[in-house]
Amino acid sequence: MPAVRPTVPPRIDETATTRTQLLQRATVCGGAVVGGGIVWGLSQLSFAAPSDEQDARVFKLVLALEHVKAAFYEQALARAGLNGELRDFARTVAQHEKSHVAFLEQALGGATESTPRPDFGDALKDVDAFSAAAVKLEDLAVATYNGQAVNLTTASLTAAARVVSVEARHAAWIRSILGEVPATEPTDAPASEDETRARLRDFGVDVG
Amino acid sequence: MELLLDDLDTRGALREAAEKAGISRAVFLGGTIASVVAALSAPAAAEAVSRNDIAVLNFALVLEYLQSSFYTEADRSAALHGKAAAAARRVGAVERAHVKAFEALLGRQAIKRPAFNFAGTTESDRPFLKTAVAFEDLAVAAYKGQAPRLRSKQVLASALAIHSVEARHAAWMRYLFHVQPAVSAFDDAASKPKIERVVAGTHFIVARPRMEARRRPRLTG
Amino acid sequence: MSRRIVAALGAAVVAACAVVAIGKVAVGAPAGPTSSLRGAPLPRAPRPALSVPSPRDLADSRHVSVWTILVRPTTARARPDADARPVARLARRTPEGTPNSLVPLGRAGDGHGHVWVRARLPVLPNGTTGWVPRRALGAYQAVRTHLVVDLERLTATLLRDGRPVLRAKVGVGQPRWPTPRGEFHIRNRLTGYRDPFYGPLAFGTSARSAKLTDWPGGGFVGIHGTDRPDLVPGRVSHGCIRMRNDDVLRLGRLMPVGTPLTIR
């Protein structure tokens, strides 16, 4: 199990490292050009630049997702009637999601206040429902991480990349168990923050 | 043993470009992919991709060539059975699509496809699956190692979109090979030197043989 | 300057820009779903740099042929088994010094986890096949071309992806030294020699003359130019396939080594 760094080196973006540069940024915030420096137009709001604050917002979003998944597998093991391969899958993945939750909470400096504790109801009424929901959730995790990772600072990106591939493995694994083609697309499309929230709402989970 | 350029530069294209860019032959002969590709001056295509990103893309392209050639050869050999054969066909189609995308973006800057001697791993079910697992896990680790080095967010978006697909493939092949598809909660990145060592250690990349001779024919006439 | 201050400054600039930006963006901006996280939604991922096409199965493999070299001398056997009857000993190189080559026809495992490959052998009688261990072979290379020589019509046709891209008249073996019929492959190119008898360019094939068994170099049939174009087309040679010099040069630009050769 890798050592996880909970804090990332503080930076505005990958090029600003001195106080002088930071102050220069402040003066160009509205979109002026400072002698050969970066043009901060409306399309390049400081939001787009990686930052600690943005990393935290991203991590909060994916943490909410990981909480949902951890709860899903925990509840599935308790009442979805899983056996054999599916049970082994759920047990392993539950452990992974717990680890993901722990990592993200540590990165954010401790457990967050609002931890979604969804009740999955019909999604866990039987093995088929569980399987279909698991595919959706794993695919959603991949799409969410891929959608958000481009926003992250280098250190956070490095960490997030270590998680997203595991989610992708989960997705192909459950499909393999179901006898479906484990991967059909040549690329995995990213999901925006809105899409992630919408897809979680389909599970009756509101992380807003 | 590093993945040396001479192993890859099968038609001399990279050597030619390097000479044009004034890179000394010594650097070239001892050079890794990145050092020479990074030194080439002309930008790739319509959107100027940075030299740094071109080097990363070419590194990824070598791995995509490795995979697409592997699956394509397996598919053509018609020596695999059942799900292994189906995997070679489907995953091969995806890796070939990846190669086309890289070649289109890199244009003249694309590294040339090497010749591969897969030593029977494309012609027998178990060796095929074992090698496929290794290749896919390798690709996941490689993309993970390179992604943070990319300057362009657009290239990064592409790298991430492919990285997770390779992870799906890895789980797919592991499942067929009857090993755990996802062993750990966190996958490790691998550095470029590590990847190059692993690939070189397979001895799969070979020089294209010279089939031409400057000799007077001794044919029946 | 401590890291924390840099970070705090950073945060302050971000916040300041945020306020300014929201002020500018809010006008006319569509009302989106609300977020408990302060500020505008997280940025969407940018357009990816790579444009990946739809995956496609291999195009018709009918026109693809694979060839490979011998990386070590080996014994071809009657069955895929190290104890099976030897059929022929294969040298690593051709008489011209180029690597010997084979066209794989099939594979089998030997029960010890080794792959064996069945191939046509460059031995007499033409058409002899045998099994060689995979480890004696090199990289598999694919070609999309196919050369068809018609001994009745005295023509050579080069096909690429099944479509003719070159047609030429040929001179073939005299009746007492016939050009053999069958399936073979182009195994090397010879250049840089000064012998007008063979023209500017010659190709070695895996076909053997059944009559000229004592010929130096083994009596392999070649495809080459000629200093007697007046004899092409015709049944004029010791077995080789002769072309007019401009045709053989064109062939040289279009036909890679390893191309399968059908002589009918």
CATH fold label, A50-201 = Ferritin (1.20.1260)
Picking from B42, B65, B18, the residue whose alpha carbon sits closest to that of residue B205 is: B65
The answer to whether B186 contacts A1, with C-beta atoms less than 8 Å apart, is: yes
CATH number of B5-206: 1.20.1260.10
Record: contact C42-A46, CB cut-off 8 A? no
Would the pLDDT of C32 be above 80?
no
Q: Which residue has the higher pLDDT, A20 or B202?
A: B202
What integer pLDDT is reported at residue C11 of this predicted model? 46
Rounded CA-CA distance C259/C206 in Å is 11
Domain boundary among C107, C142, C177: C142
pLDDT at position C4 over 50: no
Same domain as C163, residue C71? no
**How does pLDDT run along chain A (208 residues), one tens digit per residue?**
343 444 333 333 333 334 444 444 433 333 333 333 333 333 334 346 889 999 999 999 999 999 999 999 999 999 999 999 999 999 999 999 999 999 999 999 987 666 767 888 889 999 999 999 999 999 999 999 999 999 999 999 999 999 999 999 999 999 999 999 999 999 999 999 999 999 999 888 887 6
Check CB contact under 8 Å for B92 and C58. Answer: yes
Is there a domain that residue C14 lies in? Answer: no
Query: Measured between beta carbons, which residues in chain A are less than 8 angstroms from residue C6?
Result: 10, 19, 22
Asked, for residue C27, whether it belongs to a domain, the answer is: no
Asked whether A172 and B171 are in contact (CB, 8 A), the reply is yes
Helix, strand, coil shares of chain A as percentages rounded to 5? Answer: 60, 0, 40
Cβ-defined contact of B185 to A167 (cutoff 8 Å):
no
Q: What span, in angstroms and rounded, lies between the C-alpha atoms of B142 and B165?
A: 13
Chain B residues close to C96, C-beta within 8 Å? 213, 215, 217-218
Q: How far is C216 from chain B (nearest CA, A)?
A: 7
What's the count of helices (H) and strands (E) in chain A, helices before strands? 6, 0
For residue C134, the domain's CATH number is 2.30.30.40
- Enumerate residues 169 to 198 of chain C having a beta carbon within 8 A of any beta carbon in chain B: 173, 177, 187-195, 197-198
Quick one: C164 and C119 in the same domain? no
Examine residue C252 and state whether it is found in any structural domain, yes or no: yes
> Is C132 a domain residue?
yes
pLDDT for res B73: 97
Q: By the CB < 8 Å criterion, does A69 face chain B?
A: no
- Mean pLDDT across the stretch C16-34? 36
Q: pLDDT confidence of C212, banded at 50, 70, 90?
A: confident
- CA pair distance B162, B105, nearest whole angstrom: 15
Residues C174 and C235 in one domain: yes
Chain B residues with beta carbon closer than 8 angstroms to that of A96: 182, 184-185
Q: Are residues C131 and C166 in the same domain?
A: no
Phi and psi at C220, nearest 5°, equal: -80, 145
Do C134 and C152 lie in one domain? The reply is no
Q: Do C18 and A46 touch (CB under 8 A)?
A: yes
What confidence tens digit (pLDDT) does each residue in C113-167 have? 899 999 999 999 999 999 999 999 999 999 999 999 999 999 999 999 999 999 9
- CB spacing of B165 vs A166 below 8 angstroms: no
* Mutation to test the A interface, candidates C5, C14, C57, most A Cβ within 10 Å: C14
C30 CA to centre of own chain: 57
Instruction: Reply yes or no on whether the pLDDT at B39 is more than 90.
Output: no
Domain membership of residue C122 (yes or no) is yes
| C227 located within any domain | yes
Mean pLDDT to the nearest integer, C17-38: 38
Which uninterrupted H or E stretch holds A183?
Answer: none
Do residues C103 and C130 both lie within one domain? yes
How far apart CA C255 and CA C264 sit, in angstroms, is 19
Report strand pairing: C241-242 vs C220-224: parallel
ipTM for this model? 0.82
CA A106/CA B181 separation, integer angstroms: 27
Q: Do C57 and B217 touch (CB under 8 A)?
A: no
Sequence ranges of the domains in chain A = 9-49, 50-201
- Among B148, B161, B181, beta carbon nearest to A190: B161
Structure confidence at residue C111 (pLDDT): 84
Assigned domain for C225 exists: yes
Residue C44 tokens, joined: 């969407």
User: What mean pLDDT value characterizes chain C?
Assistant: 87
C109: DSSP letter: E
| pLDDT for B41 | 37
Q: Which of C44, C8, B149, C37 is nearest to A11 (CA)?
A: C8
Q: What is the residue range of C196's domain?
A: 144-263
Q: How many CB atoms lie within 10 A of CB A166?
A: 29
- Give every CB contact of residue C58 below 8 A, 6+ residues apart in sequence: B72, B75, B76, B89, B92, B93
How many CB atoms neighbour CB C5 within 10 A? 12
Q: Answer whether B159's CB lies under 8 Å from B147's CB.
A: yes
Q: What is the token pair recorded at B210?
A: 């010279």
CATH number of the domain enclosing C151: 2.40.440.10
> How far away is chain B from the Cα of C9, in angstroms, using its nearest Cα?
24
Interface contact A185-B165, CB threshold 8 A: yes
Clarify whether C238 is annotated catalytic. Answer: no
Least confident of B114-123, C4-13, C95-104, C241-250: C4-13
C178 and C216 in a single domain? The answer is yes
The yes-or-no answer on residue C224 being catalytic is: yes
On chain A, the residues whose CB falls within 8 A of the CB of C44 are: 147, 190, 192
Quick check: C84 pLDDT over 50? yes
Whether the pLDDT of residue B133 is over 80: the answer is: yes
Q: Which of C121, C142, C163 is at the close of a domain?
A: C142
pLDDT at A125: 92
Pair of tokens at residue B4: 């040396």
> Nearest 5 degrees, angle CA A90-CA A92-CA A93?
65
**pLDDT for residue B202 is more than 70:** yes
Block residue for tokens 């690593």: C92
Q: Are strands C171-173 and C234-237 parallel, antiparallel or unpaired?
A: parallel
Same domain, C185 and C208: yes
Question: Best interface-test mutation with A: which of B98, B160, B169, B187 has the largest number of A CBs within 10 A?
Answer: B160
What's the total number of domains in chain C? 2
pLDDT for residue C251: 98
User: Could you tell me the residue ranges of all domains in chain B?
Assistant: 5-206
Query: Is residue C217 very low, low, confident or very high in pLDDT (cuts 50, 70, 90)?
Result: confident
Confidence band for C210, pLDDT divided at 50, 70 and 90: confident
pLDDT tens figures, C46-64: 999 999 999 999 987 889 9
Query: What span, in angstroms and rounded, lies between the C-alpha atoms of A60 and A99?
Result: 15
Among chain C residues, the shortest Cα distance to A14 is held by: C10
Is residue C15 one of the residues assigned to a domain?
Answer: no
Is residue C211 located within the same domain as residue C221?
yes
End-of-domain residue from the set C81, C109, C142: C142
- What is the pLDDT at residue C154? 98
Do C120 and C164 sit in the same domain of this protein? Answer: no
How many CB pairs below 8 Å do chains B and C form together?
187
